[in-house]
């Protein structure tokens, strides 16, 4: 898959990669555009763009509110697709879609893959679609060369990790702790042991998210994972200080 190779090429020059998360249409596409510009200019390696959904079950209060506000503001899937095409044409890093399966199901799996491919999207993160229920999704992912990103959790058994890894491409998203996004994680002995299990279960790069908020968190993952994921923290920053504060924050994470 193209995504995995793109990330491995970047890992040749960096100790750890950075992936960021934005909710499309929140607070506006103009703000999204400026935030992404600053993220890329300050060294972000991959961006997951969330297509807003009414019931984002894996997300904490910051991202839930952003989803709700984006929908309230009239954000539609077609708007997200058009924006994605603009971003992939403007910036030379991989972009992913993160959303929930109902969005894809309602749009139609095949048409959604066709549009995402045309938009230059490199991967999908769909937290509520286990591989056992995603046979056609995984087949289309292979056909359109869009990486299906599978998720490990601290509660995943070694056997379950191997099953998930056998269906994943691009990288594995490792949830740092139980619960939802937005609460700070502590990268202590328990997380290190868990990431060791993750590493044994797959040869794909490991990305760690849920509660990664600052430079110390990112540096604690060096040598244990390949990519740190920053999500709720940048949304909080934009809410409190505006899009102009994003560049310095991203630059300070390394």
Q: 190: closest CA among 154, 164, 214?
A: 154
Identify the bridge partners of residue 75 per DSSP, sorted by sequence position: none
Show Cβ contacts of residue 122 under 8 Å, excluding neighbours closer than 6 positions: 2, 3, 6, 94, 95, 96, 146, 147, 170
Catalytic hit among 4, 45, 59, 226: 59
Rounded-to-integer distance, Cα 189 and Cα 196, Å: 10
Q: Is 170 left (phi over 0), alpha (psi -120 to 50) or beta?
A: left
Active site residue 55: no
DSSP 186-234: --SHHHHHHHHHHHHH-SS-EEEESS--SHHHHHHTBTTBSEEEE-HHH
Instruction: Name the one residue in this structure whose structure tokens are 């286990």.
Output: 130
The answer to whether 124 touches 100, Cβ cutoff 8 Å, is: no
- Would you call 46 helix, strand, or coil by DSSP? strand
- Dihedral sign computed on CA atoms, order 158, 45, 20, 99: negative
Active site residue 216: no
- Would you call 152 helix, strand, or coil by DSSP? strand
Q: How far, in whole angstroms, is CA 148 from its chain's centroid?
A: 11
Q: 17: closest CA among 230, 238, 236?
A: 230
Catalytic hit among 4, 45, 48, 217: 48
Q: Which positions are annotated as active-site residues?
A: 48, 59
């Amino acid at each position: 898959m193209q995504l995995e190779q793109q990330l491995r090429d970047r890992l040749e020059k960096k100790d750890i990669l950075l992936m960021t998360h934005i909710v499309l249409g929140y607070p506006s596409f103009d703000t999204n555009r400026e935030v992404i510009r600053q993220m890329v200019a300050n060294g972000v390696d991959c961006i997951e763009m969330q297509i807003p959904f009414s019931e984002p079950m894996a997300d904490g209060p910051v991202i839930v509110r952003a989803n709700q506000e984006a929908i309230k503001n009239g954000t539609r899937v077609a708007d997200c697709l058009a924006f994605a095409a603009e971003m992939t044409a403007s910036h030379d890093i991989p972009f992913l879609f993160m959303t929930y399966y109902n969005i894809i199901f309602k749009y139609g799996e095949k048409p959604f893959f066709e549009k995402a491919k045309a938009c230059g999207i490199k991967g999908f993160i769909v937290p509520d679609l286990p591989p056992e229920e995603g046979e056609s999704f995984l087949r289309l992912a292979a056909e359109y060369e869009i990486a299906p990103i599978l998720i490990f959790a601290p509660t995943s058994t070694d056997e379950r990790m191997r099953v998930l890894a056998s269906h994943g491409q691009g990288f594995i998203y490792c949830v740092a702790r139980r619960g939802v996004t937005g609460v700070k994680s502590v990268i202590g002995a328990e997380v290190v042991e868990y990431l060791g299990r993750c590493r044994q279960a797959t040869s794909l790069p490991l990305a760690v998210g849920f509660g990664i908020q600052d430079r110390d968190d990112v540096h604690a993952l060096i040598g244990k994972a390949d990519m740190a994921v920053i999500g709720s923290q940048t949304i909080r920053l934009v809410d409190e200080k505006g899009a102009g504060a994003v560049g310095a924050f991203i630059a300070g994470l390394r």
